[in-house]
Structure 1
Amino acid sequence: MRLRPFSLGLTAPLQTARGAVDRRKGFLVAVDPEADGGSVPALGLGEATPLPGWTESLSACEAALRGVGGGNEKRELPADAVSRLDPVETPAARHGLALALADATARDARRSLSEHLAENEDFPAPAETVPVNATIGDGDSEAAVDEAEAAVERGFDCLKVKVGARDLDADVDRLRAVRRAVGEGVSLRADANGAWDRATAREAVERLAPLGLAYLEQPLPADDLDGAAALRDRQKDVPIALDESLASRGLDAVLDAGAADAVVLKPMALGGPDRALAVAKRAREAGVEPVVTTTIDAVVARTAAVHVAAAIPDVAPCGLATGSLLDDDLAPDPCPVADGEIPVPSGPGLAGDAFDGLR
């Protein structure tokens, strides 16, 4: 296994619970049958891009990968290497290696990654395109309307509006203005990123109910599953989606609390594309809709997330239009957004030969 570190600038700082992040740093993970032994059927490529608060630190990610694979040393990769990486303690490390091995297996079988993933979960043939949402920032009403109208002109029919940075009156006004501007035919979501307390969230769901939101994402802090469940009971016209709660508490706790109508899955934070799809399957079986997004990853992990979404039957619009948030990238994007959809690469593995220069 070979590790190649990278550092990519963001177009704007990413606000996290641990402060602002202005660069995404991680590792390309490459596996090779000549160097890594019989457990690797072909060349494979993965990405481990930790985001503290969601995953382990960069140093912990590197230590975990070097611990199971030797880093850039030539030694046989253990057949159980992936299982040695804890998906809770070091999810980004596990994502990088699991993706590299899945890419290798799919390439060896001459199948796309989404076909490989779907078959492992007994899902039907994956979709050829994945619907995606546009994200509208936390600017004032005029800015939000301008962004929303521009997104609809580009072909998006699902918009996610950031809320929670302003007082509730301002956010309600912003969402009403966006709904008036784009009409009822556009699906509208709101994402509070855990910014509200219970009283504010209760008022929000009452006032937002007439807007026909597809869902309200993470209205309360991540650990307040009881509060999220109470919101669902209080106002059934506003479905509740959980994102940060999934990372901090896990799917079992979310389901046990009856806290969500939808869950937002980040493969990097869940420990790999295989684990993300398994969580999606369990959520769907429990009547909770899965949506796939990223932790603002580089192109390799973004492409893998597209394959995960494609493998989920009839997936709702996903938060995968995130490449524009990076100043630069590791390679040209093999699945750019067009008319609110992302075409799924059909070549073997991640994207045929699109990443050969990185392997």
Structure 2
Amino acid sequence: MNRHEFSLDLVAPLSTARGRIERREGVLVGIGADGVRGVGEATPLPGWTESIDDCRTALDAVADADAIGGLRAVDDPREPLADAPAAITDPLADAPAARHAVESALLDATGRRRDRSLAALLADRPAATVPVNATLGDAPAAETVAAAIDAVDAGVACLKVKVGVGSLDRDVTRLRSVRAAVGSDVALRADANGAWDRETAREAIEALATLDLAYLEQPLPATDLSGHAALRGRGVDIALDETLAEMPPAAILGADAADVVVLKPMALGGPGRAVRTARSARAAGVDPVVTTTVDAAPARTAAVHVAAAIPEIRPCGLATRDTLATDLCPDPVPVEDGAVAVPDGPGVAGSAFDDLV
């Protein structure tokens, strides 16, 4: 197993519920399977995955395992590591980013060997394009409206507005201003990143119910399943994101705590796991949406394939290349007219990443 570490600065610090992020550090791995090499990316995100140090430790253990040289192209792409020996799977059990890299590399190698794209491995009839949303930060109303208009003019038909930093009145004014500016044909989401208590969240839903919000994302702290469940059915759908970093998807679905789940393949442990989680969510009547963890090109491209493998998916948070000051290679999945074309070459992106690791 070959490895290459990288560090990419962000254009501007990214504020999350877990703090500010100024750069993304990760590891690329190259793994051979049946004589074909695949490439995968591990870019840990604090709070959602293991740390970069723990990621390195997990990948060290996998690289040292004798079995790594005998891996074969996977039989079931939806469970790529099902037949892998414990010497490989055990170190990855608590390291989802490292697992994402290994699983992605095996799927990439399998796709190249079978001359099929990753999306075609994961689904019988994957989509050719995936719609994306634009994310608008916590700027004042006028700036938020200007950014919204720019995004819509560029072809984006779904906007996600960050809320929860200032007062609720301020957020309601911002969202009403955006809705008035872009009209009723543009989907509008709000993301509180777990900032509110139950009373504030209820007040927010009452105030926003007339704006035809597609959903309100993570209004309460991540562990408050019963609180999120109680917010459902009040006129605005509830989406959970950070909660998936705190507890397994089955617990969320079992608690009826969400109308939508936001799936990050890096945090879930790989493309195959993400697609399986999406199918479980749909079976429970919950809609999946796919987002990146502000990844480099290999993982971002793999996330596009994941989204393409989920039928009739809503706009996804895949337009994150512009968040990075630089990338590892030219972007295989640029956004055009509010959508991303899914690479149709073998594996994740053909040979686009071969020189990186």
Do the structures match in fold with TM over 0.5?
Answer: yes
C-alpha contact 2:220 2:228 (8 A) present in aligned 1: yes
Q: How does 1:56-67 map to 2 (within 5 A)?
A: 56-67=50-61
Whole-Å Cα distance in 2 between the matches of residues 306 and 14 of structure 1? Answer: 22
Pick aligned residue for 1:340 from 332, 338, 341: 338
Which residue does the alignment assign to 2:40? Answer: 46
Please give the per-residue CA displacement for 1:205-247, whole angstroms capped at 9, x wherever unaligned. 01100000000000000000100000004x0x20000000111
Q: 1:17 to 1:162 in 2, by over 3 A?
A: closer
Please give the per-residue CA displacement for 1:97-153, whole angstroms capped at 9, x wherever unaligned. 0000100001000000111122xxxxx310000000011111010011000000000
Q: 1:96 to 1:40 in 2, by over 3 A?
A: farther
C-alpha contact 1:145 1:178 (8 A) present in aligned 2: yes
Q: How does 1:188-203 map to 2 (within 5 A)?
A: 188-203=188-203
Q: 1:74 to 1:247 in 2, by over 3 A?
A: closer
Whole-Å Cα distance in 2 between the matches of residues 314 and 109 of structure 1? Answer: 26
Pick aligned residue for 2:320 from 314, 319, 322: 322
Whole-Å Cα distance in 2 between the matches of residues 311 and 70 of structure 1? Answer: 33
Kindly provide the amino acid, as one letter, of the partner of residue 257 in structure 2: A
Q: CA deviation at 1:15?
A: 2.5
Which residue does the alignment assign to 1:356? Answer: 354
Whole-Å Cα distance in 2 between the matches of residues 131 and 162 of structure 1? Answer: 20
Whole-Å Cα distance in 1 between the matches of residues 343 and 142 of structure 2? Answer: 37
C-alpha contact 2:159 2:187 (8 A) present in aligned 1: yes
Unaligned runs of 5+ in 2: 72-83
Q: TM-score, normalising length from structure 2?
A: 0.93
Whole-Å Cα distance in 1 between the matches of residues 88 and 314 of structure 2? Answer: 30
Q: 1:147 to 1:52 in 2, by over 3 A?
A: same
Q: CA deviation at 1:253?
A: 1.3
C-alpha contact 1:11 1:326 (8 A) present in aligned 2: yes
Helix, strand or coil at the partner of 1:247: helix
Q: Is 1:178 matched with 2:178? A: yes
Q: Is 1:76 matched with 2:69? A: yes
Q: CA deviation at 1:18?
A: 4.4
Which residue does the alignment assign to 2:26? Answer: 26
C-alpha contact 2:49 2:96 (8 A) present in aligned 1: yes
Q: 1:346 to 1:242 in 2, by over 3 A?
A: same
Q: How does 1:1-359 map to 2 (within 5 A)?
A: 1-32=1-32, 39-70=33-64, 76=69, 79-80=84-85, 83-87=89-93, 89-118=94-123, 124-233=124-233, 235=234, 237-359=235-357
Identity among equivalent positions (%) equals: 60
C-alpha contact 1:16 1:53 (8 A) present in aligned 2: no
Q: CA deviation at 1:352?
A: 1.5
C-alpha contact 1:69 1:77 (8 A) present in aligned 2: no
Kindly provide the amino acid, as one letter, of the partner of residue 352 in structure 1: G
C-alpha contact 1:277 1:312 (8 A) present in aligned 2: yes
Whole-Å Cα distance in 2 between the matches of residues 25 and 86 of structure 1? Answer: 18
Whole-Å Cα distance in 2 between the matches of residues 17 and 141 of structure 1? Answer: 22
Count of residue correspondences: 344
Q: CA deviation at 1:41?
A: 4.3
